[in-house]
Amino acid sequence: MRLNKFLARSGLDSRRKCDELIRSGKVLINGKIVTNFGYKVLNDDVVMCNNKYVSIEDDKVVYLLNKPRGYICTSKDTHNRNKVIDLIDTNLRLFTIGRLDRDTTGIILLTNDGDIANSLAHPKYQKEKKYYVKTKGKIEISDIKKIKNGFRLDDGTKVKAKIFQSSQLGNNYEWDIILTEGKNREIKKIFSNFGAKVTLLHRYYFAGFQLNNLNPGKYRKLSKIELNKIIK
């Protein structure tokens, strides 16, 4: 098995993140640094990353969690903040498929398999992510057209989204936003670009999955049927 696939299958991280770890010289095989993604891992090879042994779990799992406000999506944190992985009672090494900001709520998927993560998170697969958004500040019709057609932020990042206004009360607006990529803080940056401030951000749909009646902080394990739909 190729080294980058081996690391992803181990649950270390997504395929792209594993490529970065290999490239940066953080992966050792039998005590030697290996930077070749295509290295074939043998059954008796001893693989380490960041001074920890790496092996492949037999079972692939995906958990669907309703992320509460105030939780971060990283696996490690030096500031002792609440992490979403700590909400799931398991001994498996999990990581999130994509991320939500600390103050963003809603659906987040966690897995121990990098290939599954890649199939759901990589932009080329165009998996839809749907958000309910509250803002302060008006956005003009011409700005809405720009968002739908795509435009560049001040930092040069190209952004594009489907956007629908659902209600208005004074200077407070409610929106439905649909993304297929989900760059870092993309929705907040989009509204800020046009002078509006996001006051609430909640993701209610991701790649065909919904929260239904799942309460904040609660989770469920995807069934084999659901898992097979992702893997196929």
Q: From the candidates 19, 101, 115, 176, which is the catalytic residue?
A: 101
User: Which range, of 84-88, 112-116, 201-205, 211-215, averages the lowest pLDDT?
Assistant: 112-116
CA distance 27 to 48: 6
Tell me the pLDDT of the chain averaged across its residues.
91
Q: What is the pLDDT of residue 229?
A: 82
Q: What's the whole-number mean pLDDT along residues 127-132?
A: 96
What's the CATH code, domain 62-124+211-231?
A: 3.30.70.580
List, for residues 11-49, the tens digit of each pLDDT value.
788 888 899 999 999 999 999 999 998 899 988 899 999
User: Which range, of 2-6, 13-17, 148-152, averages the lowest pLDDT?
Assistant: 13-17
CA distance 124 to 99: 17
Extended beta strands in 25-121, E state = 27-29, 32-33, 47-49, 52-53, 62-67, 95-96, 105-111
The CATH class of the 3-53 domain is: alpha beta
Q: What's the whole-number mean pLDDT along residues 44-63?
A: 86
Q: What's the whole-number mean pLDDT along residues 60-89?
A: 93
Other Cβ atoms less than 10 A from the Cβ of 63: the count is: 22
Considering the chain, tell me which residue range(s) the CATH 3.10.290.10 domain(s) occupy.
3-53
CATH topology of domain 128-206: Pseudouridine synthase (3.30.2350)
Between 80 and 91, where is the model more confident? 80
CA distance 140 to 113: 43
What whole-number percentage of the chain has pLDDT above 90?
Answer: 65
**CA dihedral defined by 107, 113, 115, 118, rounded to 10 degrees?**
30
Global pTM reads: 0.77
> The tokens of 65 are what?
């969690």
User: Which range, of 53-62, 93-102, 113-122, averages the lowest pLDDT?
Assistant: 53-62
pLDDT score of 232 more than 70: no
List, for residues 177-188, the tens digit of each pLDDT value.
999 987 889 999
Please, which pLDDT band fits residue 189 given cuts at 50, 70 and 90? very high
Mark whether 13 is an active-site residue. Answer: no
